Amino acid sequence: MQKIVPSLWFDNNAEEATDFYTNIFQNSKKKEVAYHDAASAQASGQPEGSVLTTVFEIEGYKMMTVNGGPIFKPNPAISFTVSINAAEEIDRLWQELSPGSKVLMPLDTYPFNPKYGWIEDKYGFSWQLILADEEVVQKIVPSFLFTQDQFGQAEAAIKFYTSLFENSQIDVINRYNDGLLDEETAAKYGEAVAHAVFSLNGENFIAMDGGDEHEFQFNEAVSLIVNCETQEEIDKFWHGLSAQPEAEQCGWLKDKFGVSWQITPVILGELLSDPDPAKASRTMEAMLQMKKLDIAALKKAHQGS
């Protein structure tokens, strides 16, 4: 099971975006669609019976969408790096992503890679396409960009995350002044992280410091779901990650770097998808009242006891 699953926030077009992504990426499929019941519709302002969430895979990597309303807008603070072995496949995917898009870095040759481009798709989510010189197991990798008051915090965040998750390691940290970039950039950013690769629970992530000139930083438009088997595991990640009490709601939290996480019991999906609508609705109503999710309380609500 994929332990950490990115969740993308939409206003009302989550399923449309899911179909778009699964049509253009290879080895992809839409797996699940859940719908707003009365409780979630009232909480979100979305119509009852409309799509609440979708679960899908692209390049074999699991992701989720949620229709939560117009509150949060995506930005490049968390993007998705796509490693591709064939140059012509990068060209195809770039063309598929291009309609209605914003180019952040043109598809071109760069000192760090012979074929690379960074594009914000028509839904506002960002993709970095890069030519890989060998086959990679995880082709889609979430990538953090630390900007504004978080600039210079990438290394601290990497060390913090790898200390909290099991089966984690730091693979490489390249700095701006390592001699790989021009002297002006190296002098401006110094010891800050230019590019780092690390893993959490065996899943790959990328991080870099992006300077203080960017007009964006982390928000809830991209959050990271942590699938937990037990209440002890929920407690561990909740108390380890949560740093902003005002952001705690329905299993959501924000860490000290501003990154949003959803600490979620694996059984929640089973409870919410119960064919008995009364049981599913009671579970949803109970969840909406919680901050940290309580497995025992969710099960009790599900059973109506």
CB-based contact 3:201 (threshold 8 Å) = yes
Q: What is the DSSP letter of 215?
A: S
Tell me the pLDDT tens digit for each residue of 31-72: 999 998 888 888 888 888 999 999 999 999 999 999 988 999
Distance (Å) of CA 129 to CA 7, 20, 98, 289 = 20, 17, 12, 40
Domain range 232-264+277-305, its CATH number among 3.10.450.50, 3.10.180.10, 3.30.70.890, 3.30.70.640: 3.10.180.10
pTM for this model (two decimals): 0.95
pLDDT reported for residue 134: 86
CA end-to-end span of the chain: 31
pLDDT reported for residue 186: 77
CATH of domain 78-209: 3.30.720.110
Share of the chain above pLDDT 70, in %: 99
Q: What is the mean pLDDT of residues 257-283?
A: 94
In this structure, what token pair is assigned to residue 262?
A: 């959803």
Tell me the pLDDT tens digit for each residue of 130-174: 999 888 999 999 999 999 999 999 999 999 999 999 999 999 999
Average pLDDT, the chain: 94
Tell me the pLDDT tens digit for each residue of 98-122: 999 999 999 999 988 999 999 999 9
Tell me the pLDDT tens digit for each residue of 240-262: 999 999 999 999 999 999 999 99
Q: What is the DSSP letter of 138?
A: -
Domain boundaries, the chain: 78-209, 232-264+277-305
Q: How far apart are alpha carbons 219 and 75 in whole angstroms? A: 8
